[in-house]
Structure 1
Amino acid sequence: MKLPISWINEFVKFPKNTKTEIIVENLVSLGYEVESVEIFGDVQGPVVVGKVEKIEILSEFKKPIRYCQVKVGNKTNGIICGASNFNEGDLVVVALPGAVLPGDFKISQRETYGKISQGMICSAKELGFSDNHEGIMVLKSDIKVGADAKEILGLGEIVLDIAVLPDRGYAMSIRGIGRELALAMNVKYIDPISQKVPKVKKSSKLKANIKTTKASKLALVSLTDYDTKSETPLFMQRRLAQAGFRSISLPVDVTNYLMLEIGQPLHAFDADKVNGSVVVRNAKNGESLETLDHVKRKLVENDLVIADSKKVLSVAGVMGGLESEISEKSKNLIIESAVFDKGSISKTSRNLKLPSEASKRFERGTDPSINEYAAILAAHYLAKYGKAKINGISSAKKSIKNHSVIFSPQEVNRLIGVGIENLIMLKILKSLDMKVSKIGKNWKITPPAWRHDINLAADLVEEIIRIWGYHQIPSQLPKTNIGTGLSSSQKVKRSLSVKMASMGLNEVLNYPFISLEKINNLGIKPNDERQNLVRLANPLSEDLPYLRSTLLPGLFDAVIRNISRGNYNLALFEQGSVYLKPKKKQSKIKPQLLKRPSSKEIQLLDDLIPDQPKMISAILTGEKYNSGWWPNSQKYNWHDPIEMVTRLCEECGIKVSVENANNAPFHPGRCAEISIGEKILGYAGEFNPSVLEKIGINGKVYGFEIVSDLIVELAQVIKAPVFSSMPVVKEDLAFVVAKSVTAIEVIETIKNSSGDLLESVRLFDVYEGSNVGEDKKSLAFSLRFRAIDRTLNSEEISTLRGQIIETVQQRHRGSLRA
């Protein structure tokens, strides 16, 4: 929210020569973030009001050029200008030689188009006044020629961009921020609503009505004979521009101006387009409205609307409708001012994806006591500057109960750890316009109507400390116990990432949000638990409204992003949580805020929490070793992810079994199910080409997804191996087995039949072809034997070799390849 200090200063009497830094410091001490301090229209040097006395058209050029004689005080300057939206006698803004406009644009006297140009006639955009660059800025005729245009337009004034927290809607105006600053700086404050306005008689024709529980007040002021040629006064244009608002028309500018000054959003309707009475009600299913942004929006029953007897006029508290919009021909107007339910406006704004300046204020809460005052004040502005006639006011209202909070003065010390005298706390609370009455040792606090954020004793503690000063709370480090380091499970999780990195993979961290489309693109069946997605109540983006049930979509997105940037050789992994909808039937529960929930309530709340297993997933594509003039370049294949999972488990002291499987999104014929005992650890292999085609990836991609929680649960402490100085004996054996037999199964058989003398076994070749027979393959292994205390002899090696060959033949019907 942008507010100029000069506007605030009109109601907050800052000491003379108060520096901007002091104002910013006080705002920050009150809990507001000042995002930036800006100079509005950073113009330097002579910029004055000039009067166009004569215009000479230079027609010998490609486009008509005007050479203007402009009076700029006691002299007349000749100035070249290409714009044509002004005439002789108009007042314009002139930057004289020596002036510097925003963007370090220096103005000097120069010869152009055969004439001497002594300055520049400026547009609003060139001055930094607004984004309007349609033509020259023409001023009203009641301004003195030669006057300083910077002062008239507010150029060079300081504007504060203030971030207001969602619970402090009362501060989203000059009135609110001014009240806060005056309190913090202990200076005089003039409430903007203290200016008196004449009473308006009750309208005999216009009727206001409320037919919903989501609104409590509605005020309508009708006006006739509005002068359609009326212009917004310059002071109002200036302040709107400084606040970042575009000047549109007098009625619209008046409503925006008062929203910024006193915090009450207003809306103006063309009265000739309104039929019968005006009512606040819930929308009916099937109703629609084309809003001012030219978008036709479908409404639902929860949406709050302003309507007449025939149609919807606007989305209440959010945006007006195009059909009832004020146009250049509108002479009869209706000013609408209302008080709506905060939650209802927030839901409607989000459902329609239609945030607005009005909805930002309504969903935070407005002052319910000023809605009529704001409508009447707007009407008087239109009468004063637009020559409109005020016909009358029609109001509808429901009683609004003031709420109170029982407060113990001891709460401050209990929650903050600082003791503040009762008299000081009383003074602070009363300065915040809160009514205080004593009930025994406690106080009954009634906050003002605009303080929607005061509901608990803790809220009052926050207000007291905020005004008393956070800086007065002594800085004291909390007492903590000496840390015990990482837990065993944390050590295992960290070691898994280190092991993956040691295998040449890069770790990525993706957002946990996905769409249903991403899950369906993986070919996951409807009965798969990964289809039980958890939907967020308030997603960051409606395009990604679910929590992920698998890590693979994020990794695929990372692959697509890298490939689009020319990186084709990828080895990526991620370790993180996935979220699965609880299998238990969920019960609706809303525990009370001011007391501890019961054991049953806690259990019901726990049942609502999704299952969140930790997973590790990896994706491999392209070359495993970069190709070049050197030998042994190699591409990834579907055995690599299986080997990676096996190594991860082996290094954690876990034995795994591998079987052929069919699990999306993997290739049906190149997918391995990896298990630890009877528990499925996960799946690895090549991804289905049809899946890759859907998500936009060409070429072969491999990977795995396993449950890291299972590894953490079963991980063993690995003892360092005993090294032997005895010589090693190497043996190579190649077995012909059925294609369905996996290398891991054969390796496990070799290990079990070799005893402690087998130091290592490694698969170094896989062959399929006519030489080994149909549905057969050859697996070649390199074996290393070594004893700790002696040199192995040929008889021992021969015996071991025979045991291995016999066992492989028995278990896998494998034969030794010649």
Structure 2
Amino acid sequence: MPRIPLTWLAEHVELPEGLSAEQLAADLVRVGLEEEAVHPAAVSGPLVVGRVVERVPEPQKNGKTINWCQVDVGEHNGTAEDGSRTPRGIVCGAHNFDVGDHVVVALPGTVLPGPFEIASRKTYGHVSDGMICSSRELGLGDDHDGIIVLAEMGIDAAPGADARALLGLGEEVLEINVTPDRGYCFAMRGVAREYAHSTGAVFTDHGLPRAGADEDLATTGGFGVELRDEAPIHGVAGADRFVARVVRGVAASKPSPTWMQQRLTQAGMRPISLAVDVTNYVMLDLGQPLHAYDLATLDGPIVVRRARAGERLTTLDGVDRALDPEDLLITDGPDAGRVLGLAGVMGGAETEVSESTTDLLIEAAHFDPVSIARTARRHKLPSEASKRFERGVDPQLPRVAAARVVELLVEHGGGTADPVLTDVDRTTPPPVLTLPVDLPARLIGLDLDVAAVSRYLREIGCTVGEVAGAGADAVVSVSVPTWRPDLTEPVDLVEEVARLHGYDAIPSVVPRSPVGLGLTVAQRRRRRVAQALADAGWVETLSYPFVGAAQLDALALPADDERRTMVRLANPLSEERPSMRASLLVTLLDTARRNVARGTTDLAVYEVGAVTLPRPGAAPAPVPPIAQRPSDDVLDAVRAAVPAQPRRVAGVLTGLREPAGWWGEGRPADHTDAIDAVRLLAETLGVELAVAADAERAPWHPGRCARFITADGTLVGHAGELHPSVVAALGLPARASAFEVDLDVLLAAAPRTEVVATEVSTFPVAKEDVALVVPADVPVADVLDAVRSGAAASAAGDVLESARLFDVYTGEQVGEGRRSLAFALRLRAADRTLTADETAAVRAAVVAEAERRFGATLRA
């Protein structure tokens, strides 16, 4: 986010005396620039000018020589016994100063960047009563070997004067938050313009061509530049303007002036060298990114083109990068075969300015925002240049900015500029928008006349024509300024009118709310599902719906699995996760993995969310109009293009389900807990689910996975233990379990009425236990179903209240390949007390049905 030093801003717009960063933030927020932070002064406390009155070198045993100095700091001097003022004694290890020099002294109580507090301390046999400061210690640069001598900076001040004011170190800096459509506010020029809009202060536009700057330069015979974009993205050329200037005999690697280093530091950038600092300074000042090349390393002409297959580039950060055919490049050499840099993002190491550089080529260009944004994201290389280019830079700035860079280089680095200018200009005029005269009033809700609307639009730099037509058909043509590429529709102009009129001046009208509607049945049921899981000890989470192929590979999903068919985003946040999830479990497992990696191994997390399922053959959605209600046909086409987004519920269990303590060792979570969670959901909604084993559903264990279906055979979801390979790939604890069910299917299967009343019998319950010996491979769920069916068909009628498995036994008594399943039956009639014969009849019917289905026998 941009940082705004007030003294720098004052060079573009008149600021009232005594303006604070807080007041500046309040003024800017009225026009939509929010405060991010107020950074206090870099140095606090008594930082003063001192005059060296005595310097005594003292060699030390370690071979180092220190200077014992007496420094006159004016009114901050000490007081002798006779009342006279005495200089401060300070130990200093630097040697680039002498008696009589004026230096910067940090007295005890000063806090330097770091933070580092200065105090009187005993060192090298003396009490050092302060510190004589270097540039690095004050945060003004990297020079730590020599202290600052003010005369060398052209500063003349008396001892005791406030050095913070002289060096600009006592200034607050405002950091603001700039929305993506306001890229021009990444520069002092843009912020100053907005401050003028907010307060009416006088604004001076330094982004306009200045008389005499370069108007006499020849425009032919300069350094060759060619714009070749044979594969433009979305039909727009990657570059439409390129300005090049040559400066020779410059001390390019020398330090930049202190005032420039100070401003760069305040703005959050590190001073490097004159050539680099000047280009960065002009970028921060005007908003035009620039680049300086070592002219001796270039083999003209410069060619702007797309990357070729197999090309690579080592950028200034030292990273070797494989280039993509969509990357826009700066190249030179025979057939433009050498890559110099990623256009608008970062230059290459081969042509960077070095200590031996004396001749420079200055580049100031205008690039397509989409091309730059995609390149920066593709290479994970956000730079100060790309931040500006991807938001849109004024195409009229390159020539002005290049002239300013040349002027600063010549002024502070010597040398001369070539009397010729290269300016390849293929820019097009900004659009002319047709604004209905009544549109601002209709959208904002205020009665603004044409004169007021025109005044606001002229303030932001628009050219407003005369009104054409009359009444509801009256329109006015508006030509937008070059620095506002975000103004592309009439509604954009209305937003600007609202912003300048003042959001606080637009009355808030609360719409009437219909009385007594409340939540729908579906909403209440969804909330009950979430609450039921929470009450059972599960913790609800929320994950981002973006996924990539690597996550699906970790779950061992087959290549033809329907969950691999996903909706891909046109502009993903990350190329590693470019698609919308088709399974809620994919992102929830990522949440579980992250928690386990951070030490939380006992987990029971769930999520209620939507998945996105593509519609095969669906046509792209049309773009509806903004200023009026879309037609029914357009709305129908939009709805038809929107992917299906069913709601799902998923959960993941790891570690202990019941914690250990004085009561015992605890119980590890297993697949039955995941299955019980799905049963809980079904019970909460009043849905009867059938359960069957499923051996072929990734990412679950083939032997410990259950499939749930409704009474009409619709698949609801799966639950069970995760496959060991999936557990290992995600780094989860062994035997981790999970479930995922389709909440929309469950809701559709739920009874129409939310509350189903069941008559409570006043007659006593009869208990019967039955142990059935069945083949070991028969699922318990199937046997339980037989128990219920048999009980319902008994001579006693449907008197089964509940049936529960309470014991499983295998051993010699039941025979090899068989097991005993014991069920507790609870029987009750609504109109009578059951007799012993009736309960025996139920028991016999259960055994008979189990025998018929599975060859079961009653265990003695």
Could you say which residue in structure 2 is the equivalent of 1:148?
162
Q: When the two structures are superposed, what TM-score results if normalisation uses the length of structure 1? A: 0.92
1:410-440 per-position Cα deviation (integer Å, ceiling 9, x unaligned): 1111111111132222222222222111222
Could you say which residue in structure 2 is the equivalent of 1:738?
775
Q: Cα offset for 1:656? A: 2.5
> Quick one: which of 275, 285, 294 aligns to 1:251?
275
With 593-602 and 493-502 compared, the bigger mean Cα shift is at 593-602
Aligned equivalents of 1:133, 1:593: Cα separation in 2: 61
Aligned equivalents of 2:115, 2:592: Cα separation in 1: 45
With 305-314 and 563-572 compared, the bigger mean Cα shift is at 563-572
**Are residues 737 and 410 of structure 1, via their aligned partners in 2, closer, same or farther at CA, if it must alter by over 3 Å?**
same
Residue 672 of structure 1 aligns to which amino acid in structure 2? Answer: A
> Quick one: which of 165, 178, 202 aligns to 2:192?
178
With 573-582 and 780-789 compared, the bigger mean Cα shift is at 573-582
Instruction: State percent identity of aligned pairs.
Output: 40
Report whether the alignment pairs 1:409 with 2:437. yes
> Quick one: which of 763, 767, 771 aligns to 1:726?
763
Report whether the alignment pairs 1:337 with 2:338. no
* DSSP 3-state at the match of 1:297: strand
* DSSP 3-state at the match of 2:527: helix
Mapping 1:189-338, distance limit 5 Å: 189-193=203-207, 196-199=211-214, 200-202=216-218, 204-212=221-229, 213-228=237-252, 230-310=254-334, 311-338=338-365
Aligned equivalents of 1:509, 1:78: Cα separation in 2: 62
Could you say which residue in structure 1 is the equivalent of 2:703?
669
Residue 398 of structure 2 aligns to which amino acid in structure 1? Answer: N
> Quick one: which of 92, 104, 111 aligns to 2:122?
111
Q: Cα offset for 1:753? A: 2.9
Could you say which residue in structure 1 is the equivalent of 2:563?
530
Aligned equivalents of 2:52, 2:822: Cα separation in 1: 97
> Quick one: which of 778, 793, 799 aligns to 1:757?
799
Question: Do 2:789 and 2:849's aligned partners in 1 also have CA atoms closer than 8 Å?
Answer: no
Question: Do 2:43 and 2:110's aligned partners in 1 also have CA atoms closer than 8 Å?
Answer: no
Residue 725 of structure 2 aligns to which amino acid in structure 1? Answer: S
**Are residues 399 and 36 of structure 1, via their aligned partners in 2, closer, same or farther at CA, if it must alter by over 3 Å?**
closer
1:127-182 per-position Cα deviation (integer Å, ceiling 9, x unaligned): 35467767645656232263532122101112111112211122221111112212
Aligned equivalents of 2:117, 2:293: Cα separation in 1: 45
Q: Cα offset for 1:337? A: 1.1
Aligned equivalents of 2:53, 2:281: Cα separation in 1: 31
Question: Do 1:660 and 1:740's aligned partners in 2 also have CA atoms closer than 8 Å?
Answer: no
Could you say which residue in structure 2 is the equivalent of 1:429?
457
Q: Cα offset for 1:287? A: 2.5
Structure 2 unmatched runs, 5+: 78-85, 230-236, 793-797
**Are residues 196 and 759 of structure 1, via their aligned partners in 2, closer, same or farther at CA, if it must alter by over 3 Å?**
same
Question: Do 1:40 and 1:129's aligned partners in 2 also have CA atoms closer than 8 Å?
Answer: no
Residue 430 of structure 1 aligns to which amino acid in structure 2? Answer: R
1:574-600 per-position Cα deviation (integer Å, ceiling 9, x unaligned): 322223343x13545664656877777
Aligned equivalents of 1:498, 1:209: Cα separation in 2: 65
Mapping 1:627-666, distance limit 5 Å: 627=660, 630=663, 634-662=667-695, 663-666=697-700
1:38-67 per-position Cα deviation (integer Å, ceiling 9, x unaligned): 223132224225559645143125865443
Q: Cα offset for 1:210? A: 2.4
Report whether the alignment pairs 1:816 with 2:848. no
With 266-275 and 550-559 compared, the bigger mean Cα shift is at 550-559
Question: Do 1:50 and 1:91's aligned partners in 2 also have CA atoms closer than 8 Å?
Answer: yes
Aligned equivalents of 2:362, 2:670: Cα separation in 1: 72
Q: Cα offset for 1:735? A: 0.4
Could you say which residue in structure 2 is the equivalent of 1:680?
715
Could you say which residue in structure 1 is the equivalent of 2:784?
747
* DSSP 3-state at the match of 1:269: strand
Question: Do 1:55 and 1:88's aligned partners in 2 also have CA atoms closer than 8 Å?
Answer: no
Report whether the alignment pairs 1:14 with 2:15. yes
Mapping 1:341-740, distance limit 5 Å: 341-392=368-419, 393-438=421-466, 439-440=468-469, 441-564=474-597, 567-582=600-615, 584-587=616-619, 591=623, 593=625, 605-606=638-639, 608-627=641-660, 630=663, 634-662=667-695, 663-676=697-710, 677-716=712-751, 717=753, 718-740=755-777
Question: Do 1:52 and 1:68's aligned partners in 2 also have CA atoms closer than 8 Å?
Answer: yes
Q: Cα offset for 1:681? A: 1.8
Aligned equivalents of 2:25, 2:446: Cα separation in 1: 26
Aligned equivalents of 1:38, 1:335: Cα separation in 2: 33
Residue 201 of structure 1 aligns to which amino acid in structure 2? Answer: L
With 546-555 and 486-495 compared, the bigger mean Cα shift is at 546-555
Could you say which residue in structure 1 is the equivalent of 2:91?
80
1:693-712 per-position Cα deviation (integer Å, ceiling 9, x unaligned): 23223432333322221110
Aligned equivalents of 1:134, 1:805: Cα separation in 2: 96
**Are residues 485 and 276 of structure 1, via their aligned partners in 2, closer, same or farther at CA, if it must alter by over 3 Å?**
same
Report whether the alignment pairs 1:771 with 2:847. no
With 608-617 and 795-804 compared, the bigger mean Cα shift is at 608-617
**Are residues 375 and 140 of structure 1, via their aligned partners in 2, closer, same or farther at CA, if it must alter by over 3 Å?**
farther
* DSSP 3-state at the match of 1:759: strand
* DSSP 3-state at the match of 1:313: strand
* DSSP 3-state at the match of 2:418: strand
Aligned length: 817
**Are residues 163 and 498 of structure 1, via their aligned partners in 2, closer, same or farther at CA, if it must alter by over 3 Å?**
closer
* DSSP 3-state at the match of 1:156: coil
Residue 674 of structure 1 aligns to which amino acid in structure 2? Answer: F
1:7-64 per-position Cα deviation (integer Å, ceiling 9, x unaligned): 1112212233344443222200001011112223132224225559645143125865
Question: Do 1:665 and 1:691's aligned partners in 2 also have CA atoms closer than 8 Å?
Answer: yes
Question: Do 2:248 and 2:418's aligned partners in 1 also have CA atoms closer than 8 Å?
Answer: yes
1:656-691 per-position Cα deviation (integer Å, ceiling 9, x unaligned): 222222122222222222222322222223322232
* DSSP 3-state at the match of 2:685: coil
Aligned equivalents of 2:145, 2:348: Cα separation in 1: 27
**Are residues 91 and 206 of structure 1, via their aligned partners in 2, closer, same or farther at CA, if it must alter by over 3 Å?**
farther
Structure 1 unmatched runs, 5+: none
Question: Do 2:47 and 2:104's aligned partners in 1 also have CA atoms closer than 8 Å?
Answer: no
1:458-513 per-position Cα deviation (integer Å, ceiling 9, x unaligned): 11111111111111111221122125222222222222223333444333333323
* DSSP 3-state at the match of 1:784: strand
Residue 225 of structure 1 aligns to which amino acid in structure 2? Answer: G
Question: Do 2:252 and 2:275's aligned partners in 1 also have CA atoms closer than 8 Å?
Answer: no
Question: Do 2:691 and 2:781's aligned partners in 1 also have CA atoms closer than 8 Å?
Answer: yes
Residue 461 of structure 1 aligns to which amino acid in structure 2? Answer: V
**Are residues 551 and 370 of structure 1, via their aligned partners in 2, closer, same or farther at CA, if it must alter by over 3 Å?**
closer
* DSSP 3-state at the match of 2:122: strand
Question: Do 1:43 and 1:102's aligned partners in 2 also have CA atoms closer than 8 Å?
Answer: no
**Are residues 371 and 501 of structure 1, via their aligned partners in 2, closer, same or farther at CA, if it must alter by over 3 Å?**
closer
Aligned equivalents of 2:690, 2:253: Cα separation in 1: 85
1:294-325 per-position Cα deviation (integer Å, ceiling 9, x unaligned): 11222233222222234222222221111111
* DSSP 3-state at the match of 1:655: coil
**Are residues 128 and 482 of structure 1, via their aligned partners in 2, closer, same or farther at CA, if it must alter by over 3 Å?**
farther
Q: Cα offset for 1:204? A: 3.4
Question: Do 1:283 and 1:303's aligned partners in 2 also have CA atoms closer than 8 Å?
Answer: yes
Aligned equivalents of 2:352, 2:193: Cα separation in 1: 34
Question: Do 2:108 and 2:129's aligned partners in 1 also have CA atoms closer than 8 Å?
Answer: yes
> Quick one: which of 821, 827, 831 aligns to 1:785?
827
**Are residues 779 and 130 of structure 1, via their aligned partners in 2, closer, same or farther at CA, if it must alter by over 3 Å?**
farther
Q: Cα offset for 1:290? A: 1.5
**Are residues 577 and 59 of structure 1, via their aligned partners in 2, closer, same or farther at CA, if it must alter by over 3 Å?**
same
Aligned equivalents of 1:565, 1:233: Cα separation in 2: 48
